[in-house]
Structure 1
Amino acid sequence: MLSTLQRELEVVDSFFHLMQVRFGDRIQLERSLEPGCLDKKVPTLALQLLVENAIKHNVATDQAPVRICITATARGVEVANTITRPPQGVRSGQVGLRNLRERYQHLSRYQPEVLQQPDRFQVRLPYITAIRKEAYV
């Protein structure tokens, strides 16, 4: 249900390593972590889902690599990526984002914040400090 940010980053590192075998330097991952954030909690596989979406919904080229940045602050963690042209034939039903919102709704009173600009897509995830009582039912 919940994982520490440290564990989530380990999962992202493993997943990203596999993706780099396929895409090489056409995908890039940066991290910026404030001290004291690694023990904060987010839904399990939330970060991996967002990194996977960034790769799936963009075309990565040598001239325009997909840059993904994970930023953790005391308030939450953000996954942002550059927007390149979308791959042909890939449509978004926003299943991943909907799933993430539903998990947050089930676990806490907080919700992810999705921001889209012409050249950047970002999702801000609040940390979950206490699980809703209804989640145990």
Structure 2
Amino acid sequence: MKLPSFTRYDWLLQLTALPVYIIIYNWLIIGDNYWHSWTTFGMATGIAVVISLSNWYTISYINFEVRSRYVTLQHYTKRAVPGFIMASVSSCLHYSLLFLLYQWVNLPGFVPDPFRLGLVLLISVIAVAIITAIYEGIHNFEYWRYSRRKADQLSKAQLQVQLDMLRQQVNPHFLFNSLNSLISLIDEDPRQAGAFAEELSTVYRYLLRSNEAPLVPLTNELEFIQSYYHLLKTRHGQSLTLVTLIPPSAENRQIPPLTLQLLIENAVKHNIVLPDQPLTISLVADEQCLTVSNNLQRKSSPVLSNGVGLSNILSKYQILGQPVPTVEDDGQEFRVTLPLV
């Protein structure tokens, strides 16, 4: 038989309620004679303490067994009703025994009165109902808090899984595109290919490190973008320009990592980048948001795309519970406005 463990609520309730029960029940059973003799007062109080503690422990065991079988909030009636009935029976039996013990020990000043016993039993049942309601309230609140904590933990775990899936999309995607550029440079300009490979190693170290967190400071992303921009300049030269207008007040705000890299990569991938048709990409921010824009000069032939870039960014913001970025295309300029966290 597993014994019940008492919580701080149990001890607090009994330390405050038990002395009150003993005094009231003895006064109801014995009457005013309870106060007129130290002998009567001492004997009755001592016997009542033993009976009351026995009753408390019995009721606690009953509640322990019932709650171990019916735990959830949906089992409220299956837990409360049997618990109330059995606890009421226990109280009635214990205080009936108290009444009989006073007779048996010939308690001075005690006159057996069935009416007084009935009144005590009625009050006991009412007290059990009140205590049952208190315990159920505490139990339900604790279960609700436990369920809420578990739901939060599950939500965080799901969030982490979703973010990890997005990161697994970005890493191979970025590496694949970068290696394609490196292969092209090897044939065209081996010296530039060597410089490109060195910059690529620096950039990829940041990519791996930044993916450890769901959000990174904007200033970190901007430093990374400068390194990434050098890679693009190695490939495209003066055909590509990056304009950055970021106030100092916005640099400490946060965004999902690699967001800017994906948008810049998409702009280069889907637009013509030639000396006579230069591509200009702008990063303009205030304290609330950052806008990434580029002039539109789409390639005549469709570009093979797996849709990782923009959809990845939108998914990250949704998973993190942040406002979704807005996308605008007026035929002359393509703009993505990113909320800053």
TM-score, length basis structure 2? 0.36
Q: Decide which of 230, 249, 273 is 1:17's aligned counterpart.
A: 230
5+ residue gaps, structure 2, are 1-213
TM-score, length basis structure 1? 0.88
Evaluate the alpha carbon distance shift between residue 87 and residue 50 of structure 1 in structure 2; reply closer, same or farther with a 3 A threshold.
farther
Q: Percent identity?
A: 35
1:60: how far off?
0.6
1:85: how far off?
2.7
Asked whether the 8 Å contact 1:6–1:38 carries over to 2, the reply is: yes
The equivalent of 2:277 in structure 1 is 64
**Following superposition of structure 1 onto structure 2, how do residues 94-109 of structure 1 map, counting pairs within 5 Å?**
94-109=307-322
**Structure 2 SS opposite 1:109:** coil
- Find the aligned partners of 2:288 and 2:250 in 1 and give their Cα distance: 9
- Find the aligned partners of 1:16 and 1:117 in 2 and give their Cα distance: 26
1:74: how far off?
1.1
Which one has a bigger Cα radius of gyration?
A: 2
AA aligned opposite 1:35: P
**Structure 1 SS opposite 2:248:** coil
The equivalent of 2:180 in structure 1 is none
**Structure 2 SS opposite 1:122:** strand
Structure with greater strand percent: 1
* Counterpart check, 1:6 vs 2:219: yes
Asked whether the 8 Å contact 1:58–1:87 carries over to 2, the reply is: no
Indicate the larger mover: 28-37 or 87-96.
87-96
5+ residue gaps, structure 1, are 129-137
- Find the aligned partners of 1:95 and 1:87 in 2 and give their Cα distance: 21
The equivalent of 1:122 in structure 2 is 335
Q: Which structure is higher in RCO with an 8 Å CA cutoff and minimum separation 6?
A: 1
1:34: how far off?
2.1
Asked whether the 8 Å contact 1:57–1:87 carries over to 2, the reply is: no
- Find the aligned partners of 1:85 and 1:113 in 2 and give their Cα distance: 20
**Structure 2 SS opposite 1:10:** helix
Structure with greater helix percent: 2
RMSD: 1.3
* Counterpart check, 1:29 vs 2:242: yes
